[in-house]
Structure 1
Amino acid sequence: MSSITEPNDQSGSAPFFSKQATVAKPGFSRWMVPPAALAVHLCIGQAYAFSVFNGPLTKVIGITQSAPDDWSLTSLGWIFSLAIVFLGLSAAFAGKWLEHVGPRRTMFTAACCFGGGFLVSALGVYLHQIVLLYLGYGVIGGIGLGLGYVSPVSTLIRWFPDRRGMATGMAIMGFGGGAMIAAPLSVALMNHFRSATSIGVAETFVVLGIAYFISMSIGSLAIRVPPADWKPAGWTPPATNQKKMISRNHVDIDQALKTPQFYLIWLVLFLNVTAGIGILGQASVMIQESFKDTVTAAAAAGFVGLLSLFNMGGRFVWASASDWIGRKNTYFIFFALGAVLYYLVPGFAASGQIALFVLAYCVILSMYGGGFATVPAYLADMFGTAFVGGIHGRLLTAWAAAGVAGPVLVNYIRAYEVAHGVAKADAYTMTIHIMVVLLVIGFVCNLLVKRVDDKHHMTDAQLAKGA
């Protein structure tokens, strides 16, 4: 198996940020690439921790309590929503550009956008103009999120053709774990900068913006792509694997959208994420209502933290396991086991079995994270490695859609149930049964995925021209 064809000129005459300049020289260790990817993903994973700023941002004027002119939580909620929307849009529409200019320029652009978004937001806090927060973190920062998320993935897959799942799992695990660093760091910085006249948010935004820019820039400078026809020492590319559906051919970005496989895998990701993301957002309230007078707010916070650990760990464990059992089989486990666990959860709650309740959701959230980390390798198996970054970017629109569908299912159905007299402890039962149905549909969609028809494959001439 070969990587996407790269120019052979490694003389150093190519512009520093060009794709040619990132081609690795002889002796370069591929194990230098995962840390470069992590330098980016650990930073952009901060997005999951943005909620720590919501409370302080409602007191920018009042300092100790909200003043009449302070922002409301409702208006602040749009900052994160915009960031996720522009993450999806930038990942989807910048795919071709990523494949054309290479990972270094894309990752450095992500560093400028994500770090710069914090600085624009800091100005917005200082001037008390929320539109600057929408523009800064929401739009500019969201673009940085999208570019930073997809840019290292295709490079890792090309460096690790023998361990695609493990490689992408390492990077995307960083996105899941970034919030675990960002949350306490942000709180500590706000406490450090807090004064009688400042809540400390603007100053924290400046520090974070600079720190994230530096870390992501280092990652962009360290990234390398393999030379043409490179392969790991001692590894022989296998013949097309019919059982695991690993292809040695390549499909163009636009052509991939003409295949049923793209839309089936889109549904696979959408349904897997929908089943997990809504629960993740309501985990604290859900466990307290399910075990009223038994689980305290502090214990519920610990439950949320535990789910985050399984979400992060599942990204590496499940993606690595997919190298052995195949991507399609991995998603079979996600949907089958997930459906069974969701079906059992209401019974665990009704019988007061907290340990089984917690264990079930931990496994479910590990598969939620594993779905994110496994899908890039699934795409590489189906469509080849030449344009997997761009194809992956377009598939992430499933994440954006699930980000709306999951919380709507959990929140609105629960509200409807409670409004019609259902006890809060039982209000999640209908939602969970709907999740079971969605997972069964996902199982069927995954079952229908077959190898891509030969008519969609690029010829060697087309591949060389598109490189």
Structure 2
Amino acid sequence: MATREIRDLYGRHYRVGETDRQLLGRPRAVLLATACAAMAAVGLLQYGFAAALPVLDPTFPHTEPLAALAVWVACQAVSAPLAAVLYRRLRGSPAVPLLAAAVLSGTALLTIAYAHTLPALVLGYGVLGGLGAGLTYLTCIAVVTEWYPERTAARAGLVSGAFALGSAPVAVLAGTGFFTVAAIVVAAVLAGSAIVLRKPPRHWWPPAIDPQRWAVDRALNPSIPHNIPAVRRWSAATAARSAALPAICVVVVLTSTLALFDLAYLGGYGQAPAIAALAAAAGLGRASTGTLSDRLGRRRTLGVALALGGVAQFGLLTAVHARSTAGAVLFGALAGAGVGTGYSLLVALVRDFFGGDALIPIYGIAYAGKAIGGVAGVVLAAVLLGAAPSATLITAVAGLAGLCTAALTLTLHQPGRPRTLPTAS
């Protein structure tokens, strides 16, 4: 079949005629598995570090290492827009950011094992590790969404889920000796992914599916009618001037505040089993809600999940203060499954609102909101761990924050679409 470019009734472009095997020499599923492996490896820098807080160098004061986690979150999120620009400029292979991530992430894990001063931990783990994780996260999401344009939500959910799920089994093993081995393994996995991962041609579409029929046929595309395509093609600059992108960023800020607060708080209390449960549930939740949102709608799925995460706070923080490991594991899993959904649905939500042409740059801008929310969550956890206020206050603040975030999703509205017309649910 000759390569040609066609459009659907929404004006979206599709390049058809080339199979994944012709372009890669292998099925695109190999790239999906490789991206998941890279994300699972780099997820150790977030969840593994939180689980290891009690076994770090004992010379660190109780909450001091949380400063390094806050810096890591900020660097990981802020690097997303930069990584998006780099990805767009690369041709064929995203090897450069992934090879850089291999060096940066390996160095960060060695720092966790051997750093004895806070400045060294902040620089090696916080700054270098954050940059390495950010490069990996954005690059893997970008590669998979471009190779799976017909299943963006489901496949982005798998990749995002791997970031959390991959670290769950080792969260309970995290210790200084473990991180020495992990540094070698993670660097090798990221370097290997740099060799395997490739970018498809712009607007590539699998030839086995008719894109014009896919745009209107509910049997072929289960996302219809709950997720209506963008009204036009948006650039990153025009999206930033709309009311929708700032609203999405606010949701990301609040979601990441809650997510990193839970993680830092559990780490400060030495609740490694609860962190493992949180990471596992977050991974499974992210992996499943993408497909679920195709059938129920992005906003509805996101709102229900965040409401679950908000309600779970009441049980989680009460269980931690009651020193109930079983309760912390149970409610940690519920909190992870609910709150973690915000990250997995972000890609599909951005595509529905602004179209696919500038998906990666706009997604990078929205994801950068994690820098504000994540730092706020870690700082709040550090303050509460140091002050040891009543469990009632902590529970009320965290639970209400989650419920308010869920309510905020109801205000999200596609830019350029009059409110009298149908909108995505």
Instruction: State the TM-score, normalized to the length of structure 2.
Output: 0.77
Aligned equivalents of 1:302 and 1:185: distance in 2?
Answer: 10
Choose which of 233, 237, 242 in structure 2 pairs with 1:259.
242
Q: Which residue of 2 aligns with 1:50?
A: 49
Q: Which residue of 2 aligns with 1:464?
A: none
Of 135-144 and 323-332, the range deviating more from structure 2: 135-144
Superposition deviation, residue 228 in structure 1:
4.5
Aligned equivalents of 1:131 and 1:438: distance in 2?
Answer: 32
Aligned equivalents of 2:341 and 2:101: distance in 1?
Answer: 27
Q: Closer, same or farther in 2 for the Cα pair 1:103/1:208, shift >3 Å?
A: farther
Equivalent runs, 1:114-263 vs 2, <5 Å: 114-116=102-104, 118-119=106-107, 122=110, 131=119, 133-180=121-168, 183=171, 187=175, 190=177, 204=180, 208-232=182-206, 233-235=208-210, 236-239=213-216, 243-247=226-230, 249-263=232-246
Q: Closer, same or farther in 2 for the Cα pair 1:325/1:103, shift >3 Å?
A: farther
Aligned equivalents of 1:263 and 1:113: distance in 2?
Answer: 29
Superposition deviation, residue 45 in structure 1:
0.7
Choose which of 428, 432, 452 in structure 1 pairs with 2:395.
432
CA contact (8 A) 1:318 1:330 kept: yes
Aligned equivalents of 2:118 and 2:263: distance in 1?
Answer: 27
Q: Look up the SS of the partner of 1:266 in the other structure.
A: helix
Aligned equivalents of 2:43 and 2:323: distance in 1?
Answer: 35
Post-superposition Cα deviations, 1:223-274, rounded to whole Å, max 9, x if no partner, equal: 2333345333235331596642333743222222111111111122222333
Post-superposition Cα deviations, 1:158-217, rounded to whole Å, max 9, x if no partner, equal: 322332221011111111023235557764x827xxxxxxxxx7xx2xx54443232112
Q: Which residue of 1 aligns with 2:256?
A: 273
Aligned equivalents of 2:200 and 2:407: distance in 1?
Answer: 37
Q: Which residue of 1 aligns with 2:23?
A: 25
Superposition deviation, residue 392 in structure 1:
1.8
CA contact (8 A) 1:40 1:148 kept: yes
User: Match of 1:370, as an amino acid?
Assistant: T
Superposition deviation, residue 432 in structure 1:
2.6
Residue 406 (structure 2) pairs with residue 443 (structure 1): yes
Equivalent runs, 1:390-405 vs 2, <5 Å: 390-405=361-376
Q: Closer, same or farther in 2 for the Cα pair 1:250/1:36, shift >3 Å?
A: farther
Q: Look up the SS of the partner of 1:231 in the other structure.
A: coil
CA contact (8 A) 1:84 1:142 kept: yes
CA contact (8 A) 1:4 1:228 kept: no
Two-structure CA RMSD over aligned residues (Å): 4.2
User: Match of 2:192, as an amino acid?
Assistant: I
Q: Which residue of 2 aligns with 1:39?
A: 37
Choose which of 263, 279, 283 in structure 2 pairs with 1:312.
283
Aligned equivalents of 2:321 and 2:109: distance in 1?
Answer: 46
How many pairs align?
A: 398
Superposition deviation, residue 328 in structure 1:
0.9
Q: Which residue of 1 aligns with 2:69?
A: 80
Q: Look up the SS of the partner of 2:229 in the other structure.
A: coil
Post-superposition Cα deviations, 1:423-451, rounded to whole Å, max 9, x if no partner, equal: xxxx2223332334333432343222222
Gaps (5+ residues) in structure 1? 10-21, 59-65, 192-200, 287-296, 419-426, 456-467
User: Match of 1:374, as an amino acid?
Assistant: L
Aligned equivalents of 2:387 and 2:199: distance in 1?
Answer: 52
Superposition deviation, residue 135 in structure 1:
3.4
Identity %: 21
Aligned equivalents of 1:75 and 1:355: distance in 2?
Answer: 27
Aligned equivalents of 1:260 and 1:122: distance in 2?
Answer: 43
Q: Look up the SS of the partner of 2:280 in the other structure.
A: helix
User: Match of 2:195, as an amino acid?
Assistant: L
Aligned equivalents of 2:328 and 2:63: distance in 1?
Answer: 32
Q: Closer, same or farther in 2 for the Cα pair 1:284/1:112, shift >3 Å?
A: closer
CA contact (8 A) 1:114 1:141 kept: no
User: Match of 2:209, as an amino acid?
Assistant: G
Q: Which residue of 2 aligns with 1:290?
A: none
Instruction: State the TM-score, normalized to the length of structure 1.
Output: 0.71
Q: Closer, same or farther in 2 for the Cα pair 1:371/1:98, shift >3 Å?
A: same
Aligned equivalents of 1:303 and 1:358: distance in 2?
Answer: 4
Choose which of 82, 85, 103 in structure 2 pairs with 1:96.
85
Q: Which residue of 1 aligns with 2:220?
A: none
CA contact (8 A) 1:274 1:406 kept: yes
User: Match of 2:215, as an amino acid?
Assistant: P
CA contact (8 A) 2:39 2:159 kept: yes
Superposition deviation, residue 146 in structure 1:
0.7
User: Match of 2:237, as an amino acid?
Assistant: D
Q: Closer, same or farther in 2 for the Cα pair 1:53/1:108, shift >3 Å?
A: farther
Residue 338 (structure 2) pairs with residue 367 (structure 1): yes
User: Match of 2:262, as an amino acid?
Assistant: I
Aligned equivalents of 2:319 and 2:173: distance in 1?
Answer: 36
User: Match of 1:224, as an amino acid?
Assistant: R
Equivalent runs, 1:271-420 vs 2, <5 Å: 271-283=254-266, 301-342=272-313, 359-410=330-381, 412=383, 418=389
User: Match of 1:378, as an amino acid?
Assistant: L
Of 243-252 and 84-93, the range deviating more from structure 2: 243-252
User: Match of 1:253, as an amino acid?
Assistant: A
Aligned equivalents of 2:24 and 2:136: distance in 1?
Answer: 27
